[in-house]
Structure 1
Amino acid sequence: MARILALSEAIAELVADGDEVAMEGFTHLIPVAAGQEIIRQGREDLTLVRMTPDIVYDQLIGAGCARKLVFSWGGNPGVGSLHRFRDAVQNSWPVPLEIEEHSHAGMANRYAAGASGLPFAVLRGYTGTDLVEQTENIKTIQCPFTGETLAAVPALNPDVGIVHAQQADRAGNVQMWGITGVQKETVLASKRSLVTVEEIVDELTPRPGGVVLPKWAVTAVAEAPGGARPSYAQGFYERDNGYYQNWDAISRSREEFETWIEANVRTTAERSAR
């Protein structure tokens, strides 16, 4: 059953050095505050999993938290490259970074398999690409019914799954609405889970198309107003486009990045209402 914790308490309890950590959110409701708290607590040697790593993963990589990235696309959306990610791959700074690349369909199916308790997923999503030759965790199999050659990918069962949502009630039931990605699958697939939320309320009001994560599926909930910024949270705030644009210049230089991360993450308080 979900427990209500401060963000710093939740990260300290749930995320350990060497863990495989998935932090999901598609354009919207990206768990930035949780990622920055991981940096603040100095976690290292993490395998970071995310379909579309963007600037919070750039920050985690640049801060030396990651040893491996499992992903299907990476970039500063609408702006360009992730320069700390690029520096780690090309120059091993601040530490070497191993990468494992998949398609979007492959990653989504891996989460779905993990959430379903299956050992692997089967799909056609790698047809016409060379990812089968480049990524060890993609295999080809023959359909036992038709003989068709298909791709198989292992289930994702991260040590920790972290997502952001708009609301939770005091029992730990979570509700999110608007654009969603694989947040539900991430929580269900992970051994432990943390949901940061904009607010904790007495009662959840049903929303058209809303996704509800029941309290029994969530390990911990942490109230973190603004916890998705600079991404947006529908009904609470809009996307901060200037942040993404400024990040391009900040992240190009190791020195500027280190100055920024020290001033804006390592020496600042957690984004929490508690």
Structure 2
Amino acid sequence: MARILQLDEAIAELVHDGDSIALEGFTHLIPVAAGHEIIRQGRKDLTLIRMTPDIVYDQLIGAGCARKLVFSWGGNPGVGSLHRFRDAIQNSWPVPLEIEEHSHAGMANRYAAGAAGLPFAVLRGYRGTDLPAQTDTIKPIECPFTGEQLTAVPALNPDVGIIHAQQADRAGNVQMWGITGVQKETVLASKRSLVTVEEVVDELTPRPGSVVLPQWVVTAVAEVPGGARPSYAQGYYDRDNAYYQQWDPISRDRGKFAQWLETEVQRERSAR
């Protein structure tokens, strides 16, 4: 049975310096509060994994938590670049950042392979691109049945997979609905997993199209109302578009970013 923990307890127990961690969500249900708790606890030397790293990864990188980013696209959605990410790549500030770039399909298939217990995934999508020349984890492979030249990418098995969902019951069964990405695969592929939820309820109400993660695949659940903000949680709150716009000038300036770390992230600790 998944254990119900406080967010700070869960991060302290599950996330260690040097871990590979995936905080997944696709526009919706992004585990922002968990990312901020990782910053507060001062984790370092992390390999950050995500299909579409956005502002919470910008914040983790700017706080010096990361040594490597494994990804397929990165940006402030609807606004522009991730400036803390750019500063780390271009100027090694606050620490150098290694990158491993894949396509969306490649990342999704890597998670699926990890969830299935397979060593790698096979796809056609890299042919005709320059990514194989830039990324060591993209290799040609010949189909043993047809002789077709395909591409193999290694499975993703993060040390810790972190997602956000709407509800969990008291036994640790998790339910999410609305737009979902690779959250299920992330949990199944990871050695340890944390699901932050809007609320813990006595009983989950079946919903058409919902994704249910049973208690035996989840390590820990933390009740964190608003834990996806400024992204949104269908049925609970809308996306805070102004936050994404306001992040751009903050992230462009090291001084403003440092002030943001001291005030906003630490203020969240008091609020929780």
TM-score (normalizing by structure 2): 0.99
Aligned CA distance change for structure 1 residues 271 and 171 (closer, same or farther; 3 Å)? farther
CA distance in 1, matches of 2:218, 2:140: 34
1:267 Cα shift? 4.7
Structure 1 residues without counterparts, runs of 5 or longer: none
Aligned CA distance change for structure 1 residues 271 and 205 (closer, same or farther; 3 Å)? farther
CA distance in 2, matches of 1:74, 1:85: 9
**8 Å contact 1:232–1:240 — kept in the other structure?**
yes
Deviates more, 1:133-142 or 1:261-270: 261-270
CA distance in 2, matches of 1:251, 1:262: 14
The residue number in structure 2 matching 1:49 is 49
Equivalent AA in structure 1 for residue 107 of structure 2: M
The residue number in structure 1 matching 2:243 is 243
The residue number in structure 2 matching 1:207 is 207
1:54 Cα shift? 0.1
What are the superposed Cα offsets for residues 234-256 of structure 1, whole Å, 9 maximum, x if unpaired?
00000000000000010000000
1:266 Cα shift? 3.2
1:261 Cα shift? 1.2
Q: Are 1:120 and 2:94 an aligned pair?
A: no
How many percent of aligned residue pairs carry the same amino acid? Answer: 83
The residue number in structure 1 matching 2:163 is 163
Equivalent AA in structure 2 for residue 136 of structure 1: D
SS in 2 for 1:268: helix
TM-score (normalizing by structure 1): 0.98
Equivalent AA in structure 2 for residue 115 of structure 1: A
**8 Å contact 1:227–1:271 — kept in the other structure?**
no
Equivalent AA in structure 2 for residue 65 of structure 1: C
1:128 Cα shift? 1.8
The residue number in structure 1 matching 2:9 is 9
CA distance in 1, matches of 2:267, 2:202: 33
The residue number in structure 1 matching 2:230 is 230
- Moved runs in structure 1, 4+ residues, more than 3 A? none
SS in 2 for 1:59: helix
CA distance in 1, matches of 2:137, 2:253: 33
The residue number in structure 1 matching 2:150 is 150
Equivalent AA in structure 2 for residue 204 of structure 1: L
SS in 2 for 1:269: helix
**8 Å contact 1:124–1:151 — kept in the other structure?**
yes
CA distance in 2, matches of 1:207, 1:33: 25
